[in-house]
Amino acid sequence: MKMQLAEIANALNSEIDKGDDTIITSVDFDSRKVGKNALFVPLAGQRDGHDFVNSAIANGAAATLWQKGHPNKPENIPVIEVDDPLTALQDLAQYYLNKVNPTVVGITGSNGKTTTKDMVAAVLAKRFNVHKTQANFNNEIGVPITILEMKPSTEILVLEMGMDRAGQLHHLSSLVKPDVCVITMIGEAHIEFFGSRDKIADAKMEITDFLKEDGEFIYNGDEPLLKQRAAKISQEKATFGFKEDDTIYAIEWHSKMRQTEFKIQNSSQEFIIPMIGKHNVSNAMAAISVGRRFGESDEEIAQALAHFTPTANRMEWETGALGEAIMSDIYNSNPTAVSAVVTAFGQVKVKNNGKRIAVLGDMLELGKESPTLHAGLASDLNPDIINEVYLYGSEMENLYNALVDKYDPKHLHYYPTDKMDNMIEALNNDIKPNDIVVLKGSHGMHLEKVLQHLL
């Protein structure tokens, strides 16, 4: 972005005390990351963002928003006073979105939304100037920042849109007014806050609340909860999945160690993605659906999918200190995701005498169903396929108890939350060069520390 401060103030129906012609080229709420010519947005979090304005100025901020009536307003920098800095950030993003006027693709889902976002962006970049969500900037703060980071030449904006409470996607949909909405699937993520998958599906459907009249809703057609709710959508619809009544469905797929090959009905094109697992074939079919919507050929789509770069820690392969292969999938976790990852991992071939070793951390935000959902993962773990299991965290004790009759005690290991160092030591003693390892757990379990030690 590039706007004069006067234009920003006008967009926010506010005034500035000085510096009308100051040029703003970025917007940030983290004073540590603020750069030259940035507008600082002091948000209320664990700490009051207003307390960090001097740090932002020192790092190059050219102006700041400021909540009306908040004390200690800085005098050495232009200030735009607003009723609420977060609302102002969102209003400014909406103004800039309307100014650039790209086509908007909004993507959500309990699992796979980040990978699908990366795939969709890669596919559309074959023909268009595309800007996409970076990292996990997918909430009421991250979406506006993503919008404000796009270049004026952006033709298609691909937005990952997350939620952990009802009404959140409704608000984000009202902000961006998508031209295309994608829902990857409905799982158990955040079920602690919703109570049931039905209510999660209701919340996910909010992404369509402001879908443009000539837009399209693309969703996982194998999910009954989505099919029921999609019937109420008047806009054009398309589905993807593994059933013959889907608009696009896979007719065959095969995973190797670092890639999956698949075909879809009524197409001679073979698709290859640099990820493993049936669930990633589903994500890729969502991207194919979007690509076709924008006139991409299957050949163009296949070329893009073969070379797209996934966001870090999404089924990302690393090489350990002994030469063992390590699959890192440690950004988030829920029962559907663990099942998909473990199933895909179990299909990876192992070198001579190698073992498949799973390291699973707690799945967070599952509420009162957490013990049952953790124990339920036992059906996905077969000692003939996943030869060694390491479980970490208080909730994983439920899975341990469900596996004690299934696994030899020498191959089943449980560590409470305060025993990560012990688990790391045991893993280092256990792992051999021909082994393959998968790390899967919620971000709050910090399995990245285990990964770093293994590397």
pLDDT tens-digit map of 163-216 = 988 999 999 999 999 999 999 999 876 566 667 889 999 999 999 999 999 999
Is 151 annotated in some ligand binding site? no
Q: Token pair for residue 198? A: 């039905």
pLDDT given at position 46 = 87
pLDDT given at position 164 = 84
Is 106 annotated in some ligand binding site? no
Is 111 annotated in some ligand binding site? yes
pLDDT given at position 136 = 83
CA atoms of 89 and 41, how far apart (whole Å): 7
Is 283 annotated in some ligand binding site? no
pLDDT given at position 197 = 86
CA atoms of 229 and 202, how far apart (whole Å): 8
Instruction: List, for residues 47-97, the tens digit of each pLDDT value.
Output: 999 999 999 999 999 999 999 999 999 999 999 999 999 999 999 999 999
pLDDT given at position 316 = 85
Is 33 annotated in some ligand binding site? no
Domains of the chain listed by start with CATH number:
3-83 (3.40.1390.10), 102-307 (3.40.1190.10), 316-454 (3.90.190.20)
Is 114 annotated in some ligand binding site? yes
Q: In which residue ranges of the chain is pLDDT below 70?
A: 189-194, 313
Is 109 annotated in some ligand binding site? yes
Instruction: List, for residues 138-148, the tens digit of each pLDDT value.
Output: 999 999 999 99
pLDDT given at position 190 = 59
pLDDT given at position 372 = 95
